Amino acid sequence: MTDTTSPDQTDADRALKTRHRTMWASGDYPTLASDLIWELGPRVVDAAEVRPGDRVLDVAAGSGNAAIPAALRGATVVASDLTPELFDVGRRIAAEAGAELEWREADAEALPFPDDEFDVTLSTVGVMFAPFHQAAADELVRVTKSGGRIALINWTPEGFIGQLFKTMKPYAPPLPEGAQPAPLWGDEQHVRELLGDRVTDVSAVRQTVVIDRFDTGEEFRDYFKSHYGPTIAVYNRIADDPEQVRALDTALAELGRTQGLDAPGGAMEWEYLLVTARVR
């Protein structure tokens, strides 16, 4: 197993990463990705203009919804993630699709790759969950060659997943000192500041993915309670407080309703920010 800790990590840093790995390994994120957002992978691959022969890194790749389409284009791909428990499903999907790629355990804030290693660095609603944004952004730039492309899809603060985290916040533990909320990666100005003048040709476009998997707010809530690591972690934290559990149950079902569920033919549109840039 790859050692993803860096020599200067503190015990608190290591404990935080262990909690994150456990969180994303809980539930069934690969099924959620397949059921709801698999199409985002090909979208970011298109935006990055991945070509045969490119060396591509997918950061926080999960089960590979961007890495696998990139490999199918003829690129040499490394799918990296802090949570290697997600790789088994990814390997199966890749084999069924006829895609060959490398799977590697890696912390987005301390990637185990040399400088200037990749022609393209991607992340699809992945790197945004690294708690220390500047460290993760620095790594994206560091491992990408001069003239290489970075392409990211991140949920926006105003969109559905941003509102999901806002709804869960009163029941969640406070962020560690220095950490920032994940949906900030969906704010254009924030991403521009993170990447700074090390990149050029920055494009940031808000788009949506249509989610028609759920008929009611309760159906959405129950699916996320059983599949989505961050939601599972919040419920685990309040499990001994029935009143808080009921309150969060109600709030999440209502969130689904406000986003179009419980109406005939109701569907949700989840907003994300698609960012592309070229390393100077």
Distance CA 95, CA 68 (A): 10
pLDDT score of 1:
28
Instruction: Name, in order, each residue with C-beta under 8 angstroms of 175's C-beta and a sequence gap of 6 or more.
Output: 131, 181
b/e for 119-140, b at 16 or more Cβ within 10 A? bbbbbbbbbbbbbbbeebbbbb
With vertex at residue 110, the alpha carbon angle to CA 109 and CA 115, rounded to the nearest 5 degrees, is 115
Q: How many Å apart are CA 21 and CA 23, to the nearest integer?
A: 5
Q: Residue 110 and residue 130: Cα distance in Å, rounded? A: 10
Specify the fold of 11-212+267-279. Rossmann fold (3.40.50)
| pLDDT over threshold 60, residue 61 | yes
Amino acid making up residue 96: E
- Model confidence at 101, pLDDT cuts 50, 70, 90, reads very high
Q: Where are the alpha helices (DSSP H) in 26-178?
A: 29-32, 40-47, 67-72, 87-97, 133-142, 160-168
Res 39: pLDDT: 98
CA-to-CA separations, 117 to 48, 57, 114, 142, 144, in angstroms, rounded: 16, 9, 6, 8, 6
The candidate with the shortest Cα–Cα distance to 50, out of 101, 113, 114, 91, is: 101
Asked if pLDDT for residue 7 goes beyond 70, the answer is no
Average pLDDT in the 55-64 region? 98
State whether residue 125 is helix, strand or coil. Answer: coil
Indicate the SS3 state at residue 256.
helix
Q: Give the pLDDT band (50/70/90) at residue 3.
A: very low
Percent of the chain with pLDDT over 70: 97
Segments making up each domain of the chain, as ranges: 11-212+267-279
At residue 263 the predicted structure's pLDDT band, cuts being 50, 70 and 90, is confident
Read off the tokens for 110.
């301390």
Query: 110, 156, 128, 126: which is closest to 63 by C-alpha?
Result: 126
End-to-end alpha carbon distance in the chain: 34
Following DSSP, what letter does each residue of 200-252 receive, concatenated? Answer: EEEEEEEEEEEE-S-SSHHHHHHHHHHH-HHHHHHHHHTTT-HHHHHHHHHHH
Assigned token pair, 224: 């996320």
Residue 66 has pLDDT above 90, yes or no: yes
In the prediction, which pLDDT does 8 show?
Answer: 55
Global pTM exceeds 0.75: yes
**pLDDT reading at 5 higher than 60:** no
Residue type, position 150, single letter: I
